[in-house]
Structure 1
Amino acid sequence: MNYLGIVERLISATTEQENLISLNFAREGLKAENVNQLPETEAQKRFVYYLRPFFIFLLYPSVYETGKWVRLTFDDYLRGINKELNRTRKD
């Protein structure tokens, strides 16, 4: 899976400065760790680690407020990201 590609798509679909800061942090961290070269399980963990600030504070703040963010899986992150990409495509 192209983890950096997912972040790049989010960056290209985002216009809000706060989101861009968070996504640029994720992109740089994932690049530094060569996430696309890691074994799948480790790459997914790193992806979630770097996308967590964007996901729980900016995209779905209610997940943080209710404490549900602790139980989120990689697949949950992908579903949320796909929803966001589809939403921004319609705007």
Structure 2
Amino acid sequence: MSARSLSLVVIGFTATLLFGCNEAKGIYTLYRSSMVGDGMGIHVATFDAADGDAYNRENCDIATHLFAEQPGVQVKYWCEKGPFHK
């Protein structure tokens, strides 16, 4: 592989990493607790609209309150910054 080809590969790889990191910045994920109390967060929704961080955070917060205020709800809801993780 020539030095030029290697340079193009490195630039492409770096751009891919940077794009992935920037895209994750505005993502928020909504979780809920389990009824059996195992301490596990259960994925409810992911907010990753192109409108950015503040927009996604606000929508996640709104969803949190709407779910939690339903009659008979016995689980907790919360938002975390970033994509879904187990």
Using structure 1 for the length normalisation, give the TM-score: 0.29
Greater share of strand residues, 1 or 2? Answer: 2
Using structure 2 for the length normalisation, give the TM-score: 0.31
Larger Rg: 2
Greater share of helix residues, 1 or 2? Answer: 1
